[in-house]
Structure 1
């Protein structure tokens, strides 16, 4: 079968003979991502487009960081906890600082309980 996967900057271009084979490639890609502990939510599937000679293609966008509107929702959720922490948006991440370790851990538990549509990673910087 004639199928191809091309990795570019922030997208993956798939091409296959038909939609069935295209879906098989996507399933294989997701299985490999799961094996490497890469969150599956970081892929955004594009529309399936017809290509030349009866083939189909699809573009998968790789999402990195937190979009602005979701970062605002995360900051609002942190402020709603009324804990003495400071949350601020920095580029594609949300930075939370506070004096007490217990407050920061409570914020982490609150964010893990909520669903913001993105996979969150927590990095402890000292």
Structure 2
């Protein structure tokens, strides 16, 4: 029986490349000369360090642009609150979405059931497996999820016939 997995995960290699390119651009820009602005990465947690709130916004804008150019959707980036470190220096934690949250998984299943397509959706950890009798039904489900859940950067893996 044909099936596919609905997943929510950013490409780790492209994310690393986007962070490296961001740091490289920061060191080369005139408006960042002499500042300690940078982006640190630990797995799927990014930390922006900057000398002022304005510079933090600039670094965040550069990071979003580099992520988009590298094929990592900017919707993966979830901004946490800004912390003051010392003086005017600030830092901000950016979490990168990895895996479908439970409430989002329930929303995906609800959208599929409300569409009355001849497919079944099952939550399996941080993925949602969709199974159906016909390949066309599965492709219609993919199109439906892309349209109705545009705020989630979903991708589809393990398409099996």
Tell me if TM exceeds 0.5.
yes
Deviation at 1:115, TM superposition (A): 2.5
| Structural RMSD (CA) | 1.3
| Structure 2 residue 134 is matched with structure 1 residue 100 | yes
Q: Distance in 2 between matches of 1:53 and 1:109?
A: 50
Q: Distance in 2 between matches of 1:94 and 1:84?
A: 16
SS in 1 for 2:159: coil
Query: Which residue matches 2:69?
Result: 35
Query: Which residue matches 2:44?
Result: 10
| Structure 2 residue 47 is matched with structure 1 residue 21 | no
SS in 2 for 1:31: helix
What per-residue deviation string (whole Å, max 9, x for no partner) do you get for residues 3-44 of structure 1?
122111321111111011101111111111001110111111
Contiguous gaps of at least 5 residues in structure 2: 1-34
| Structure 2 residue 103 is matched with structure 1 residue 69 | yes
Q: Distance in 1 between matches of 2:151 and 2:105?
A: 11
Q: Distance in 1 between matches of 2:81 and 2:62?
A: 18
Contiguous gaps of at least 5 residues in structure 1: none
Query: Which residue matches 2:23?
Result: none
TM-score, reference length from structure 1: 0.92
Q: CA, structure 1 residues 5+26, in 2 after alignment: closer, same or farther (shift >3 Å)?
A: same
Q: Distance in 1 between matches of 2:116 and 2:88?
A: 58
Q: 53-62 or 112-121, which moves further after superposition?
A: 112-121
TM-score, reference length from structure 2: 0.73
Greater RCO (CA < 8 Å, at least 6 residues apart): 2
